[in-house]
Every structure is written in structure tokens, then in C-alpha cells.
Amino acid sequence: MDRPLTPITDRVTGPRLRWAAFGCLLAGLLAGCGTERAGQQAAAVPPAPSGSSPASDPAYVVPSPSAGEEAVGTECPDDGVRLSPAPVDAALGLRATSILLTNCGEEPYPVEGYPLLRLLDEQGQPLDVEFARGSAGIAVVEGFDDPPQQVTLAPGETAEAPLLWRNTVTAGTPVNGAFLEVTPAEGLAPQRVRPDGGVDVGTTGLVGVGPWRERGGEDQGTGAAEGFDPEAGATERPGPD
């Protein structure tokens, strides 16, 4: 039995990392990313319709059993929002990505606050990882610790919640999760997304989560932790005095 959703907690922030404009550096990494309704195993993914493939669709959704042969990627969940992963960007052990939330319904959709997340392994079992509000001392990034604000999405528009972690390995067994189970807000059904390459938190056991925010236009890249510059490197968290 899956354990309850891990609550997101506030953490103290660490040294500051400047963010520059983020380009489409890893757009090609979208191949293999996907979205599943929670409770369905990755092995249950049905074949894509002829002429298309799940790997080519960043918003790939596994239809519910009642959806029959409905085309993959066109189904809109009952809540009216579809989740998908942005590519994972990396520099010197620092990882940055975003969860994308698209209004696939027919009415404006307001979203505010932080998503609830769990990290799952290939078998869908939860892993012992904390999801903390804000940059969580991993690295302070411009805008990451801004307070939540309500975003109202018109049909077809997308919001994002940025994620930040390190793959530092010290003592213990490294953790590399395959899926993120994401609940957009209290009372909504969770959906499962599969970031490309997984979520490799090393032995840190920690992921920082930013609030839902407006996503930039198509000219602002993939949406993965907007502004992250992999060439700029990263500032380590301060150690004890």
C-alpha cells in the first residue's frame, strides 16, 4: 500500500545562484517523457496510434480503462488539467526542471500554491525523499522562493512549478526515482509523470519545489526551471562552521 503524500515543508535557503535566460538546450530530451494517471504501471502503457509515438509527445497520457482506444495524448482528465514533465537540465551536480500544468478543459482554470509530490521507483513504490517548499538550501535562485500567487489559465494555457535538487552522493545508497506522482492541488486526482533520466537525488533525499507560476511564451524555451544556465555552474550549499 502506498503511503500518504509527503507534505511539503519550508526549508532555510542557502547561497545565491544567479539565473540567466534559459534556451531550448534540451528540447530533444523530451523523448521518453510522459504522463500517467496515478495507480497505473508504466508497463500498462498501450501502444501509440499508427504514425505517432509516446516518445514524440511530451504530454503523453495513459488513458483510463474507460477511455478505450481513444488517441493517446488527447484525453483530458476529469479535473480539466494535464500534467507533463519539462526536460531536466544539469550543471555540476545541480538539477533543474519543471512540472507543466496545461488547462485542457473549456473553461478558465485557476491554480495557486504548491503541487504535492511523491517520488516513485519503476514499480510505482514510493521512495524516501522530502519535497520542500522553495529552494530548500540547495541553491538560492532568483524567483524560486517568491510567494505563491494565483494564476488563471485560459483553455490551452500552461503553468509550471519548478523543481531543484542535487545528485550529491555521500554515505548511503543513491536514490534515482523513475516517476513523480503529482497532485496539482488538494482535492484533485494525482497524475504520474516521468522526467527524462529520472530524479537522481543521490543521498541528499531532498527536492526543492517552487509554486505554480505563469509559464513564458514559446520563445522562452521548454519551461524547465526558467532561466537556468548550465554554463554558469552552481554554488554549493554552505557546510557547518
Residue 92 in grid coordinates: 555540476
b/e code 74-85 from CB counts within 10 Å (16+ = b) = ebebebbbbbbb
Beta carbons within 10 angstroms of residue 18's beta carbon: 11
| pTM greater than 0.75 | no
Cβ–Cβ < 8 Å for 215, 227: no
**What residues are paired with 181 via a beta bridge?**
118, 192
**What cell does 220 get?**
522562452
Per-residue pLDDT of the chain (241 residues; tens, 9 = 90+): 444 454 444 443 343 333 333 333 333 333 344 555 554 443 333 444 444 333 334 333 333 333 322 233 568 999 999 999 999 998 888 999 999 999 999 999 999 999 999 999 999 999 999 999 999 999 978 889 999 999 999 999 999 999 999 999 998 899 999 999 999 999 999 999 999 989 999 999 999 999 999 986 443 334 445 544 444 444 444 443 3
Q: What is the dihedral of CA 194, 196, 198, 201, to 10 degrees?
A: -130
Q: Which residue has the cell 512540472?
A: 99
